[in-house]
Structure 1
């Protein structure tokens, strides 16, 4: 444990920080499933009690790693105290804008399976084994699923292929590892100062930036306007109330 945070809280901090850096947003909401068996008496009971929590985290430029962990610890503990509140009730209370394009409240998920002791079912005269069920669709834009094993963590990132490609997500997974390592090494540093790129990536970025600079002849505002007129003469350039002018009409005025 670090700063009173569990492994789950540290992973949530890293995932939140990465999503904040990628999106440029100072606040992220991440969904997370819970077993919803807070009492010992319920642990062996047959049934599907799983619920989903919506965990809101603020990651500002001045937020330190220690402060982020403290905030996430408080948020997570408070959320687990009310884990029996159905997620549908939360949606009804918040009343977010609904669309078929994405899930309400949050569009990203974090799952940590830390139930390492999973004895195989034993039935007389039968052999029982678990089978993975393949699926080709995802409920969320991007989801991080991890399993805690004796050898460490293993897992996968599931993503909407309409939004991201495999190379991008693979690169993000490396950035997440680098971010978590930086958090462990520098708990007093600001989250925004932790490096995502390695030396090769940084060198490639600098070379690409240097190679993209080309000398251009200076252009006046009139030159730029005339170029736009030539490209899109019929596009609306000026609108006032119900009146509007295209670029060609504005040039002729």
Structure 2
């Protein structure tokens, strides 16, 4: 019997199970143990979809599942950032309606922050959203260009600029824009150089905040460049974009959108965030300690955020080992990776109170699933990686925190800063955090649009929005987990970020093998480094990122 207190989502599952079976159910009782047969399993799925306001479940229920594992599967779906139709209209958004027509519309809280950043650093491209895809067999260039024109006319967000009036930031929607697809040929330049030339700063007040370029190798093959500013475009917007591009290219009719982004942003003003704000104020009631990563170069006003990136991929064997552990421990990949990241950062910094920013999608209802726009909110997760804490206990703490964070994910980051009376005393750092983590679920596969093949991108210009901007995702084709780290190269050397990734990877494997040990017992050493310690007595590196065993 599991005697710990159920979290809110687990309690909902327990209530559903008890109602379905007319008996008391414990947290760790499997569905088979409470005699929930296959027929009742189907009934359970229906009730779960209704209770959690989901159109469908993107996971399976088995006889081995219990309330904890079902809750984790649900939170995994809710945290999925991929655009889709799996989320119905929530109670919070029942009053969602068309905004009245006017000249200016209030910008959302994240948009105001992005506007302020761009105004301060007008040449910065950190918040551009570039994408490069290879295309093959383009039979009709004119139809492809017209498809993009139709998408821009369909989505007001792509025809929006931002203005400041009396100290407030507003959206101004243009009725029509003079949008053109840039067409050029790939001569002797490398495609990476072409992409770098393509990604340029946006003037949020004057520019069309969406750009497209065709870079031709010949009449039918080449590269498709797309870029937009994050203030009007999030990661899930790409899924919407390509769904509509496919329909317009092959001539499928599209019904008019029922709502536009302005309707969403106007609606945000009507939401009472007090309960969510209370949760986050409690999380951060103790002063937040800056995560002090060892640097290769001192932080100064002269530092420019020149981003570089590295990628670390787990083997199929290691990935399967991680997945097996996640299933046994009833953890989602998101919880596992962010918790292990907190531990490795703790070992590097010799700090126990670790804060890491994470992006949560605000696409909470059916209407927002069809929109292009900026629906992402930044949340500041916090973990106490006490060296004497048992690994398994820490993972459960972070799982609980992640569940509660999801339940309170709409509280604006800017409001939290105001609540905590935090001002940016250091203009070279983000407020509250220097590390961002995202578990990506919206990677783009290869797909056909009629006879046209668009291949998934193999490179891009991903900018670090803070010291370390980290994505983890599963490469389904290679059946492996991948960690991608974009970093500020004016602060860190590439080889030391590679050391960091290797130490994180080693710690993850150590964690899986030793969940009942203390955090202090986990090793960060790779096999090669262990041999050096044993046979060569290699002293600690004296500069750059260092780890603490």
Q: TM-score range by the shorter chain?
A: 0.7 to 0.9
Q: Distance in 2 between matches of 1:92 and 1:39?
A: 28
Q: 1:103 aligns with which of 427, 430, 444?
A: 430
Counterpart Cα distance in 1 of 2:372 and 2:524: 44
- Equivalent residue for 1:184, pick from 503, 512, 519: 512
- Does 2:524 align with 1:196? yes
For the Cα contact (< 8 Å) 2:446–2:455, is it kept in 1?
A: no
The yes-or-no answer on 1:62 pairing with 2:392 is no
Give how far 1:55 is off.
0.2
1:1-253 equivalences in 2 (<5 Å): 1-39=327-365, 42-98=368-424, 99-115=426-442, 120=447, 122=449, 133-134=460-461, 138-150=464-476, 151-205=479-533, 207-209=537-539
CA displacement at 1:92 relative to structure 2: 1.4
Q: Is the 8 A contact 2:446 2:453 kept in 1?
A: no
Provide the alpha-carbon RMSD of the alignment. Answer: 2.7
Give the match's secondary structure for 1:114: coil
1:121-152: CA deviation from partner (whole Å, max 9, x where unpaired): 84x898767766526x5321112112222122
| Structure 2 gap segments, 5+ residues each | 1-326, 541-549
Pairwise CA distance, 1:173: 0.7
Query: 1:84-127, CA deviations, whole angstroms, 9 ceiling, x for partnerless residues?
Result: 112111111122241211000111011111235757584x8987
How far apart, CA to CA, are the structure 2 residues paired with 1:50 and 1:165? 30
Task: Give the count of matched residue pairs.
Answer: 208
Contact persistence 1:116–1:148 (CA under 8 A): no
**Deviation of the 1:7 alpha carbon:** 0.7
CA contact (8 A) 1:182 1:195 kept: yes
**CA-CA distance at 1:199 after TM superposition:** 4.6
Runs of 4+ in 1 over 4 A off after TM superposition: 116-122, 124-133
Matching residue of 2:215: none
| Cα distance per residue 1:50-104 (max 9 Å; x no partner) | 1111100100011111111111011111111111112111111122241211000
Contact 2:446-2:454 within 8 A present in 1 as well: no
Is 1:146–1:155's contact at 8 Å kept on the other side of the alignment? Answer: yes
Deviations 1:155-174 (A, max 9, x none): 42111223221111101111
| Whole-Å separation in 1 of the counterparts to 2:486 and 2:448 | 28
Determine helix, strand or coil for the equivalent of 1:67: helix
TM-score with structure 2 setting the length: 0.35
| Cα pair distance change 1:163/1:46, threshold 3 Å | closer
Going from structure 1 to structure 2, the CA distance change for 1:201 and 1:49 (only over 3 Å counts) comes to same
- Structure 1 residues 38 and 145, CA gap change in structure 2 (3 angstroms): same
Gaps of 5+ in 1: 211-253
| Partner in structure 2 of residue 251 of structure 1 | none
Structure 1 residues 115 and 138 mapped into 2: Cα distance closer, same or farther (>3 Å)? closer
Shift in Å, 1:185: 1.2
By how many angstroms is 1:203 displaced?
4.7
